[in-house]
A and B are shown apart, each in its own frame.
Chain A
Amino acid sequence: MIAFAELLDRLTLTPGRLAKIALLRRFFETEADPDRGWALAALTGELSFATAKAGLIRAVAEARVDPVLLGWSYDFVGDLAETVALIWPATTEAAPPSVTEIVEALRTRPKGELPALLTGWLDTSGPNVRYAVLKMITGELRVGASARLTKTALAEFAAAHGRVVAPDDVEEVWHSLTPPYQPLFDWLEGRSEAPDAAGAPVFRPPMLAHPLEPPDLAALDAAAYAAEWKWDGIRVQLVRAPGGQRVFSRGAEDVSAAFPDLDGVLASDAVLDGELLVVRDGAVAPFADLQQRLNRKTASAKLVRDFPLRVRLYDILFDGAEDVRALPFPQRRARLEGWMARHPSDRLDLSELIAFGSIDELAAIREGTRAASIEGLMLKRLDSPYVPGRPKGLWWKWKRDPLTIDAVVMYAQRGHGKRSSFYSDYTFGLWRDDGELVPVGKAYSGFTDEELVKLDRWIRNHTVKAYGPVREVERGLVLEIAFDAAQFSTRHKSGVALRFPRVARLRWDKPFEEADRLETLLGHIARQA
């Protein structure tokens, strides 16, 4: 347990991605089975216990320390596990339990025994170990190491054992495995073949597109590509196998529970790739509607009714049990259409192919549409197989030219990591008819390092008020803000939400009174609706 506690502490405080990977790799190298496997489960959020939850921690802590002081301390720290780890009275650190000991006890011992067990563990541990023990119960480690980062560390760990394993290879077997992952470590350390995921609904790393820039556009051969709309939803992978059906996010997270209305949507085995959208009466709703369904653990009947989901399919990876990823695009498309014809559903439809003769014609189509639900076009090379990752030249995303507004900087906030000494996040606003400047969004990219230095200096020299890390600045600096779409929103004072706002240009030359008006933006939204 001491090694795992130390790992969490170091991960919490280490800012760099590479340094975090190195810490994880070393942990997997030095820890024994099954301790490291259970730790891996805790790191990837796969650990949960039926009876041991936050309530157990609270009860055990209140039995040991003054509940009033516990409450005030919790208010200060804001995290139950950390509060109890810190407030637990110091005792002699005898022999802290091992990760495995804890997990097995929490899984198998009757609920009535857990308080005494947990108390015993906390009594024999120092604050770091207490924190790790409690975090295993509450989940949500907050150490800044994502599941993907951990899988990358596993791949590097395998390389040290002479295994050529990519993070994607780990991904492909991940959802067929359960903690403490013995077959995974056997494979990564070269003792056995890759775990057999047959029959399990596992995630397959998706194929991603490159943005189409002018030089690539000029070289593009129209006849070699198919075109589709680029929908403004979220990418999902639908998987059905003998072992069940799953919905995965692009980042390999199993999000099935959040979308109960997609239960059983696949009538037979397949792995399908598509865009999750809210669709009403055949029309795709703005992204803000879909957002109501995201980042939730589950969905109420009302949400399901008010924000009806549909998956717009554009590719097939497995047709039944057959891996069709090596087939070229048109053959996969035929397979997808065939599968859809055999298994129709009102929650699935096909992303239509757009007919075009030339790139110029396509450019006109792209310019001609302003629907909020469409971000632009996708171009897919006809002879391309389905390749995980972001292979260049096979799939292109050709977004619509962004819309722009000239907005006034209102607040600035410091960035993170390398940018922590720079004011690099800017809240900008537009003028309302009554002369008030109202914030409409926040941008933190789109400028060069040299421009950042100038922006930072300007912010410091024009600060009116400081609220912790945030500075309010004088009216004076105009930024040209590019964005992909604008939607009505009740979450912002301005009533508007922008999609992907970023700084297009610094308008040092522009008087701030002449920045754009909110009404102009509202008018634009009304026109496109």
Chain B
Amino acid sequence: MPHPDTWLCVRPEGLYCSPGNFFIDPVVAVPRAVITHAHADHARPGHGAVLATRQTLAIMDVRMGQGRAGGTQQALAPGETLTIGDVRVWMQPAGHVLGSAQVAIEHQGSRAVISGDYKRASDPTCAPFVPIPCDVFVTEATFGLPIFVHPPASGEVRKLVDSVALFPERTHVVGCYALGKAQRLIALLRAEGWERPVYLHGALIALCTLYEQLGVALGDLRPATGAHKADLAGAIVLAPPSAIADRWARRLAEPVTVLASGWMRVRQRARAKGVELPLVISDHADWPELLATLDEVGAPEVWVTHGAEEALIHAAQARGLRARALRLLGYGDDSAEEAPPN
């Protein structure tokens, strides 16, 4: 059996599968790309042929504009198998955002699984992570330090609802990433019984509309831009993290600054960002989830793509696994001024 080392390697463009002649989540435009999910650091515009889940392709179209999300597109359903060159490829949900999938690749009897970004906590807006036994597991490590333990998201959202009850005259402006986090927050709010409208920054509207078209019900959504200050008193407004302390937020009524992110676990970090109500809600696996996943997939070898690689490698080695960093560049830094999507 050829070790995946011999047919899966890192090139400047990204992770490359030679017997299949395609890249997985390449950071520049390539002829053939398999995309795990539609966050901008994983899904870049301009590829020739793109293979991804139906939802990921739809999100890429909305974000990049028709025609820029791959010259040709091919959708793969979960579990559906495809032979590309000398490899067998299939996908299973990663539980990260709608459409997010792990890519399993088999070549001459050895199997590698590229998880993309993933989480294990429940999320009403996307299918849950399915562990796939494999020989090499390629994992992220965004929250790869033992200080990161995400509490149940429902409890965090309840804090937001409680705060609105406590300050009914103030706008609660929640900083959250436009793809995934925003829709998950809305769904969690609905699950907590929040029936009132949720107001959206313009940057979030298109993806919320698409989620609804793809069958994720989000309830009464309204644009925040153009709304009267009086209507926004006591309202919940979602906006990209970069907007909550910027000019855009000046239109809100005495805003309570809320940020939904796994980084909010560190209180002094929340304080430094001027966040009044930090919500520890993340779409990435926390430390216990990362370790539990390594145990479940049972791979004797782990490759770490991005995040706090050294700590996860250290912990994997302590479990008797072979582990190394892939040192892929370009992930987790979407834009200079914004925190990585989480």
Which residues of A are at the interface with B, using a C-beta cutoff of 8 A? 9, 12-15, 65-66, 68-69, 72-73, 76-79, 82-83, 86-87, 90, 131, 142, 144, 414, 416-417, 420-421, 456, 466, 468
Question: In B155-169, which residues have CB < 8 Å from any A CB?
Answer: none
B314 CB-CB contact with A under 8 Å: yes
Contact indicator A86/B271 (Cβ below 8 Å): no
Q: Which of B147, B267, B315 contacts A87 (CB 8 A)?
A: B147
Given contacts A72-B310, A466-B337, whether A86 and B147 have CB atoms under 8 Å apart is yes
Contact indicator A12/B247 (Cβ below 8 Å): no
Contact indicator A13/B278 (Cβ below 8 Å): yes
A65 and B311 CA atoms in complex are apart in Å by 13
A448 and B149 CA atoms in complex are apart in Å by 45
Nearest-CB residue, chain A, relative to B249: A421
Contact indicator B245/A420 (Cβ below 8 Å): yes
Contact indicator A72/B271 (Cβ below 8 Å): no
A68 and B275 CA atoms in complex are apart in Å by 30
Chain B contacts for A87, CB-based, 8 A: 146-147
Chain A contacts for B270, CB-based, 8 A: 12-13
Known: A14-B276, A66-B318, A456-B247. 4 other contacts (CB 8 A): A13-B270, A68-B311, A131-B267, A421-B250
Q: Mark B265-288, 1 if CB is under 8 A from A, else 0.
A: 111101100111110000000000
Given contacts A14-B276, A15-B276, A421-B246, whether A65 and B271 have CB atoms under 8 Å apart is no
A131 and B271 CA atoms in complex are apart in Å by 15
Chain B contacts for A416, CB-based, 8 A: 274
A77 and B275 CA atoms in complex are apart in Å by 17
B336 CB-CB contact with A under 8 Å: yes
Contact indicator A69/B276 (Cβ below 8 Å): no
Contact indicator B311/A72 (Cβ below 8 Å): yes
Chain B contacts for A12, CB-based, 8 A: 267-268, 270-271
A66 and B317 CA atoms in complex are apart in Å by 13
A79 and B147 CA atoms in complex are apart in Å by 12
Contact indicator B245/A77 (Cβ below 8 Å): no
Q: Chain B interface: which size bin?
A: 20 to 34
Closest approach, in angstroms, between the C-beta of B310 and any C-beta of chain A?
A: 7
Contact indicator A69/B275 (Cβ below 8 Å): no
Question: In B208-255, which residues have CB < 8 Å from any A CB?
Answer: 245-247, 249-250
Closest approach, in angstroms, between the C-beta of A147 and any C-beta of chain B?
A: 19
Chain B contacts for A77, CB-based, 8 A: 147, 266, 268
Contact indicator A69/B146 (Cβ below 8 Å): yes
Chain B contacts for A142, CB-based, 8 A: 268
Contact indicator A72/B308 (Cβ below 8 Å): yes
A456 and B250 CA atoms in complex are apart in Å by 13
B321 CB-CB contact with A under 8 Å: no
B28 CB-CB contact with A under 8 Å: no
Chain A contacts for B336, CB-based, 8 A: 466
Nearest-CB residue, chain B, relative to A414: B245
A414 and B273 CA atoms in complex are apart in Å by 11
B127 CB-CB contact with A under 8 Å: no
Contact indicator A68/B314 (Cβ below 8 Å): yes
Chain A contacts for B49, CB-based, 8 A: none
Contact indicator B147/A76 (Cβ below 8 Å): yes
Closest approach, in angstroms, between the C-beta of A182 and any C-beta of chain B?
A: 32
Nearest-CB residue, chain B, relative to A471: B337
Q: Which of A77, A90, A417 has the most CB of B within 10 A?
A: A77
A455 and B314 CA atoms in complex are apart in Å by 49
Closest approach, in angstroms, between the C-beta of B203 and any C-beta of chain A?
A: 17
Chain B contacts for A65, CB-based, 8 A: 146
Chain B contacts for A144, CB-based, 8 A: 271
Nearest-CB residue, chain B, relative to A465: B336
Q: Which of A13, A456, A468 has the most CB of B within 10 A?
A: A13
Closest approach, in angstroms, between the C-beta of A395 and any C-beta of chain B?
A: 37
Given contacts A72-B311, A82-B268, A87-B146, whether A13 and B276 have CB atoms under 8 Å apart is yes
Given contacts A72-B308, A72-B310, whether A421 and B146 have CB atoms under 8 Å apart is no
B145 CB-CB contact with A under 8 Å: yes
Closest approach, in angstroms, between the C-beta of B306 and any C-beta of chain A?
A: 15
Chain A contacts for B147, CB-based, 8 A: 73, 76-77, 83, 86-87
A76 and B245 CA atoms in complex are apart in Å by 24
Closest approach, in angstroms, between the C-beta of A88 and any C-beta of chain B?
A: 9
A79 and B268 CA atoms in complex are apart in Å by 9
Q: Mark B88-114, 1 if CB is under 8 A from A, else 0.
A: 000000000000000000000000000
Given contacts A69-B311, A73-B146, A466-B337, whether A420 and B274 have CB atoms under 8 Å apart is yes
A466 and B335 CA atoms in complex are apart in Å by 11
A459 and B275 CA atoms in complex are apart in Å by 24
Chain A contacts for B146, CB-based, 8 A: 65-66, 69, 73, 87
Closest approach, in angstroms, between the C-beta of A191 and any C-beta of chain B?
A: 33
Contact indicator B245/A69 (Cβ below 8 Å): no
Closest approach, in angstroms, between the C-beta of A449 and any C-beta of chain B?
A: 12
Closest approach, in angstroms, between the C-beta of A116 and any C-beta of chain B?
A: 22
Chain B contacts for A13, CB-based, 8 A: 267, 270-271, 275-278
Contact indicator B149/A90 (Cβ below 8 Å): yes
Chain A contacts for B265, CB-based, 8 A: 86
Closest approach, in angstroms, between the C-beta of A468 and any C-beta of chain B?
A: 8
Contact indicator A72/B145 (Cβ below 8 Å): yes
Closest approach, in angstroms, between the C-beta of A85 and any C-beta of chain B?
A: 9
A38 and B146 CA atoms in complex are apart in Å by 32
A162 and B341 CA atoms in complex are apart in Å by 53
The 8 A-B pairs of least Cβ separation, nearest first, read A86-B147, A73-B147, A420-B245, A87-B147, A73-B145, A87-B146, A72-B311, A420-B274
Question: In B289-342, which residues have CB < 8 Å from any A CB?
Answer: 308, 310-311, 314-315, 318, 336-337
Contact indicator B247/A421 (Cβ below 8 Å): yes
Chain A contacts for B148, CB-based, 8 A: 86
A83 and B268 CA atoms in complex are apart in Å by 11
A65 and B246 CA atoms in complex are apart in Å by 40
A9 and B264 CA atoms in complex are apart in Å by 13
Q: Mark B115-153, 1 if CB is under 8 A from A, else 0.
A: 000000000000000000000000000000111110000
Nearest-CB residue, chain A, relative to B243: A421
**Can you list 11 pairs linking A and B with CB atoms under 8 Å apart?**
A13-B270, A13-B275, A13-B278, A15-B274, A15-B276, A69-B314, A76-B266, A77-B268, A87-B147, A456-B247, A468-B337
Chain B contacts for A9, CB-based, 8 A: 267
A15 and B146 CA atoms in complex are apart in Å by 29
